[in-house]
Amino acid sequence: MANCNIEIGKLAGERELGPVLDNITVPALYVVASGTSLGSKGDEQERIRASLDGVTARNANIKISTKVASNHDAILKKDSPAVAEAVREVAALDRGGR
C-alpha cells in the first residue's frame, strides 16, 4: 500500500498529470478533498491540489465543483452529496446542448 501511495503521489504531480488534464475535451468537475491522505507527508496533498488552479486556468472544460473536508479515501463515504451535486452539474451541461 505504501508503494502504491508513493507512486500515485508521483503520477498526480502537475508535470505528469497536467498534459493529460490539458487534453480533456468534455466537461469535468472535481470534488477536491482537503484532508491528509494515508502516507502523505507535510503539505504534499495541498501542493498537488494547488496545481489544479493552473489546470483549470488552461482548460475551460475542467472546473472545481467544491472542496470538502474529508480526505480522498472518504469522499464517497462522507461527502457523497457533494459528488452527487457535481454529477448533476455535469448532467445539466449535457442537457443544455453542450
Please give the pLDDT value at position 53: 85
Please give the pLDDT value at position 86: 94
Which residue reads 504534499 in cell numbers?
A: 44
pTM beyond 0.75, yes or no:
no
Three-point CA angle 76, 93, 84, nearest 5°? 15
Domain range for residue 79?
2-95
Three-state secondary structure call for residue 96 = coil
Question: What is the tens place of the pLDDT at every residue in 12-60?
Answer: 666 778 888 899 999 999 898 887 766 666 676 777 777 788 889 999 9
CB 56 within 8 Å of CB 28 = no
Question: What is the tens place of the pLDDT at every residue in 55-85?
Answer: 899 999 999 999 998 887 888 999 999 999 9
Q: Residue 90: which H helix or E strand, with range?
A: helix 80-95
Answer yes or no: is pLDDT of 95 > 70.
yes
One-letter amino acid at 22 equals D
Domain tally for the chain?
1
Three-state secondary structure call for residue 1 = coil
CB 63 within 8 Å of CB 56 = yes
